[in-house]
Amino acid sequence: MSTIQSRRKLIVIILLCVAIAGALVRQYAEPGSTTRDIGTLLMVLWVPIIGNVIGWLIGKIPRRAPPAEPVSFDAAGAFTPHLHVELTLRPTALLSHNVPLSAGEYRCALVVGNQGFSARWFVPQGAVLERGAPHSLDVELLTPDTATAHLPEGEVFRVLVGDSFIADGRVLQPRI
C-alpha cells in the first residue's frame, strides 16, 4: 500500500470515528441545545468521505478490456492492389477547387448501395488525375475478404471522402 493510500485510509477511519462520536453526542444531548448542534456538525464531517469511499468501491469493479484498435492501412504495410477500377472524378462546387489530383496516396470509402468499404489508391509521381475524365487505377481494400464479395467485375460504386462523394467508379477487374 502506498503512503497516499495509507493516509487516506487513516483519514477515513478518523472521520468515521468522529461521525460516530457526533451521533452519540447528538443522541444524548437535549433537543435544541448547542451540544446537539455540535453532534450534528460532527456527523456532517463524514459526508465528504462518502465520495471517496464510493470512488474506492468503483475502483474495485473489474474493468473490461480496452477495445481493439481499428484496422488501418498504416498496419497493412506495402500497397497490395485488390481491384483494378475506372474512376471519374466529379467537378467540385467551387470552380477554383476544380484542380486535378496530384501525385500521392488517397484514402476513401468505396460505396455500393448503402455499404462502404475503406480503400486507398496512389497517383504515381509525375501523373495527375483530371476531373471529368475516366482514369484506370489499382485500389487496395482494407478488408478485401468482405469487400470483394460486394465489388465484382462491372460493379458501379461511388467514392466517399469525408462527407462528400468525389468520384464515380466501376470495377474493371478484381486482382485477388
pLDDT in tens, 129-150: 888 889 999 999 988 888 888 8
Overall fold of domain 73-174 = Elongation Factor Tu (Ef-tu); domain 3 (2.40.30)
Specify the pLDDT at position 75: 58
Q: What is the pTM of this model?
A: 0.58
CB-CB contact of 153 with 174 (8 Å): yes
**Mean pLDDT of all residues belonging to the chain:** 86
The domain limits of the chain are 3-60, 73-174
Residue for grid cell 486535378? 100
pLDDT class of 172 with cuts at 50, 70, 90: very high
- pLDDT, residue 87, reads 93
* Nearest by Cα to 119 from 168, 176, 79: 79
Q: How does pLDDT run across 35-90, given as a tens digit for each residue?
A: 999 998 888 887 877 877 788 788 888 888 777 766 777 655 788 888 999 999 99
Q: What is the pLDDT of residue 1?
A: 67
Question: Across-strand partners of 37?
Answer: none
Q: Which residue has the higher pLDDT, 52 or 104?
A: 104
pLDDT at 70: 66
Pairing of strands 164-174, 83-89: antiparallel
